[in-house]
Every structure is written in structure tokens, then in C-alpha cells.
């Protein structure tokens, strides 16, 4: 059920943004709905070319960036793995703890932006993202898990 719901939410975001809902875009939504973790643009491209061999990497990458701008995908930059994407949780506001070893992600509800901020220059915040990188409990137990 969660798979179907996420796919529907992504398609709704595309539709509200004025996108025509093509079979390729449906497949893109399905790929992220089926995947719990992060995917690199190459991972997505590899899955897309199974059904659509003529799709270009540039087209896949451009769609990923646009979906991220629309809020349907979250994008993260991993030091070792580069830019990766994951389906957004569109139901509620939360932030992430991300393991730099296995890329496991835990959500947490505390939002540091709810604190009183004294921002310079009368700055008005319209959106924000908060990510904390470290080692999950399992990776801390591994002998090779050392933080520099």
C-alpha cells in the first residue's frame, strides 16, 4: 500500500507542476516507490533502460533534478557516492540522520528551525533541509567503522 501511495503522490506532484504523465514518468515514480534507499542517477538510468532502451542519461538526470525541485524527491550528496536521490515523504515535516557507511537513513521529528533564530539582513526563510551525517548503530559495531 505504501508503494502505491508514494507512487500516486509523486505523480500528483508532477501533474500539479504541469507535467504530462507519460509511461516513462510513471516508471520513474514506480522505481522510487519500490526503493527504500538512495539511488544514484546511474542506478535510476540502469533501471529505466530495461524498459526504455532509448532513454538518455541526460533525460533521466534532468528529470531527477526537476523532481527534486518540485519536492517529489529528496537529494543528498554523499562524499563517496556523489549525488543520490530518494522519494520524499510528502505527508509530514521531518529531518534525517544518514549513515555515511551504509547510507541507512533514520528520520527524526525535531526541527532545529523551530528555535528562535536571529538571522541577519531581515532574511526570510522559505524552505529548509536538515541532515546529520554519522554512523548508525550497526556500522559503529563494525571494526572498520572509524571516523576521521
Domains in the chain, CATH or no CATH each: 2-87 (1.10.10.10), 95-141 (3.30.1490.190)
pLDDT for the residue 43: 94
Residue with cell 501533474: 15
DSSP three-state, residue 87: strand
CB distance 19 to 65 below 8 Å: no
Kindly report the three-state secondary structure assignment for every residue of 15-67.
Answer: HHCCCCCCHHHHHHHHHHHHCCCCECHHHHHHHHHHHCCCCCHHHHHHHHHHH
Contacts of residue 57, defined as CB under 8 A and 6 or more positions apart, other chains included, come to: 41, 42, 45
**pLDDT value of position 49:** 96
Grid cell locating 8: 500516486
* pLDDT one digit per residue (tens) for the chain, 148 residues: 567 788 888 899 899 999 999 999 999 999 998 887 788 999 999 999 999 999 999 999 999 999 988 888 888 877 777 888 888 765 666 777 888 888 787 777 777 777 777 778 888 777 777 778 889 899 888 776 555 5
Q: What are phi and psi of 130, to 5 degrees?
A: -135, 120
Find the radius of gyration of the CA atoms of the chain: 17
pLDDT at 30 (0 to 100): 93
Compute the Cα dihedral for 56, 58, 59, 61 and give only its sign: positive
Amino acid at each position: 500500500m505504501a508503494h502505491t501511495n508514494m507512487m500516486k503522490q509523486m505523480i500528483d506532484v508532477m501533474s500539479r507542476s504541469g507535467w504530462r504523465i507519460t509511461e516513462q514518468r510513471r516508471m520513474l515514480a514506480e522505481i522510487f516507490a519500490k526503493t527504500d534507499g538512495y539511488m544514484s542517477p546511474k542506478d535510476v538510468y540502469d533501471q529505466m533502460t530495461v524498459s526504455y532502451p532509448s532513454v538518455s542519461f541526460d533525460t533521466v538526470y534532468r528529470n531527477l533534478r526537476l523532481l527534486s525541485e518540485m519536492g517529489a524527491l529528496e537529494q543528498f550528496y554523499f562524499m563517496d557516492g556523489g549525488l543520490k536521490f530518494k522519494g520524499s515523504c510528502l505527508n509530514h515535516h521531518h529531518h534525517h540522520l544518514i549513515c555515511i557507511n551504509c547510507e541507512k537513513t533514520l528520520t527524526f521529528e525535531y526541527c532545529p528551525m523551530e528555535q528562535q533564530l536571529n538571522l541577519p539582513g531581515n532574511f526570510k526563510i522559505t524552505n529548509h533541509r536538515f541532515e546529520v551525517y554519522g554512523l548508525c548503530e550497526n556500522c559503529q559495531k563494525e571494526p572498520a567503522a572509524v571516523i576521521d
